[in-house]
Amino acid sequence: MNPRMIWSNLAVSDLERTTEFYTALGFKPNNTRPSGELTSFVVGENGFVMHFFRKDILRTSMKSEIADSQKVNEVIFTLSAGSKDQVDDWEKEVKSAGGQIISGPEAFGKGYYGFVFADPDGHRFNVFYMEGF
């Protein structure tokens, strides 16, 4: 298998809140055809696409129940930062946008620094800086 692209499809309860949250973090909107079913963003230098679908839409298309991301981890995304200062700045942006800090910025291992946050629907992100990376 050699897919041309990979992207994420995540379930959310409120499209407007999700759009406001990720816009406040500086994610680039990717909604070329707004439908009321999803909001979409392009993230990072490689242009990773993140679709956020209304829960009912994703449940129907996947033909299964959707995990409650407030209770279990469905997937954890890692966002790479360019410095420790950038990690600290991003934590402030997440707080300001209404995200929940799960684990504040801290050093761990040899040369690692980061924090974990959740968006308003509980989707978790690991913000990570590694010396020399």
In eight-state DSSP terms, residue 88 is H
CA distance 40 to 59: 17
Residue 103 and residue 120 in contact, taking contact as beta carbons nearer than 8 Å: no
Nearest C-alpha neighbor of 14 from the set 77, 56, 61: 56
CA distance 32 to 94: 25
Q: 7-130 has which CATH code? A: 3.10.180.10
Q: What is the pLDDT of residue 64?
A: 81
Number of Cβ within 10 Å of residue 50's Cβ equals 20
CA angle 104, 7, 45 (to 5 degrees): 65
Give the DSSP per-residue string, 15-33.
HHHHHHHHHHTTPEE--SS
Its sign, for the CA torsion 38, 103, 81, 5, is negative
| Tens digit of pLDDT at every position of the chain (133 positions) | 676 788 999 999 999 999 999 999 999 999 766 789 999 999 999 899 999 999 999 888 778 888 888 888 888 888 999 999 999 999 999 999 999 999 999 998 888 999 999 999 999 999 999 988 7
Is 0.85 surpassed by the pTM of this model?
no
In eight-state DSSP terms, residue 40 is E
Q: What is the pLDDT of residue 32?
A: 67
